[in-house]
């Protein structure tokens, strides 16, 4: 995960920046749409990186394989949907639309805070970006977390069992015993405890570096 996350963040932030710049140029009155589409595109793109990486992690954490064993299994099955790409569909569902919501939520919160009479955007980059990033993480994971549960269920199955999203969902529904919401959001607050500060820092670093690059290019 340490090796993959820098590339994951680079893909996501590049998608966010591209979508925003595209709309500023071609649809200046609808920047939020560009941010949303850029986020969805970035989320889909990074799924192809993170799905096999998270499969390695799940095989270590749940199945009990060593890092070398889990990695060699994924690498050797790079061309197999049942091995290296197990859980890819659920990963796409978790990362596609929710990442669009993540970036759009950030942009909405940022615009709201910057438009407050007491806030000077040039002097309050840190509190605005940190607060907006935290809000965006909560919103995005609120939408995407059930698919993370489904993805983990699929990737945790041993061997080359070809479990679909529908099959995994049916299993989870059967186990829920009428407590569907609680089951689909099991462990949600632990995820939020990690995602909120990470998202806040991501956006703060992005905004700080982007501001410096813009000032340098002028």
User: For the chain, what are the domain ranges?
Assistant: 5-212
The residue whose two tokens read 């850029």 is 38
Listed as ranges, residues in the chain with pLDDT below 70 are 117-123, 159-161, 217-218
Question: What is the homologous superfamily of the domain 5-212 according to CATH?
Answer: Mitochondrial carrier domain (1.50.40.10)
Tell me what pLDDT residue 120 has: 66
Tell me what pLDDT residue 1 has: 80
The tens digit of pLDDT for each residue in 24-58 reads 788 777 878 888 988 998 899 899 999 999 999 99
* CA triple 209-215-218, angle to 5 deg: 140
Task: Pick the closest to residue 122 from 211, 201, 32, 15 (CA basis).
Answer: 211
End-to-end CA gap in the chain? 37
Tell me what pLDDT residue 59 has: 87
């Amino acid at each position: 995960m340490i090796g993959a996350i820098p590339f994951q963040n680079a893909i996501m932030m590049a998608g966010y920046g591209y979508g925003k710049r595209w709309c500023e140029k071609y649809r200046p009155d609808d920047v939020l749409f560009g941010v949303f589409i850029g986020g969805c595109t970035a989320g889909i793109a990074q799924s192809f990186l993170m799905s096999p990486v998270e499969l390695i992690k799940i095989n270590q954490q749940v199945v009990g394989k060593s890092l070398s064993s889990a990695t060699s299994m994924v690498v050797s099955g790079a061309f197999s949907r049942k091995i290296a790409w197990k859980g890819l569909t659920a990963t796409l569902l978790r990362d596609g639309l929710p990442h669009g919501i993540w970036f759009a939520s950030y942009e909405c919160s940022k615009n709201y805070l910057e438009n407050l009479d007491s806030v000077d955007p040039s002097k309050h980059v840190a509190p605005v970006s940190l607060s907006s990033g935290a809000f965006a993480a909560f919103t995005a994971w609120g939408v995407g977390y059930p698919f993370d549960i489904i993805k983990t269920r699929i990737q945790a199955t041993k061997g080359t069992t070809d479990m679909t999203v529908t099959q995994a969902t049916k299993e989870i529904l059967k186990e829920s015993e009428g407590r569907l919401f609680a089951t689909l959001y099991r462990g949600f607050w632990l995820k939020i405890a990690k995602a909120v500060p990470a998202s806040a820092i991501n956006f703060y670093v992005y905004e700080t570096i982007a501001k410096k690059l813009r000032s340098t290019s002028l």
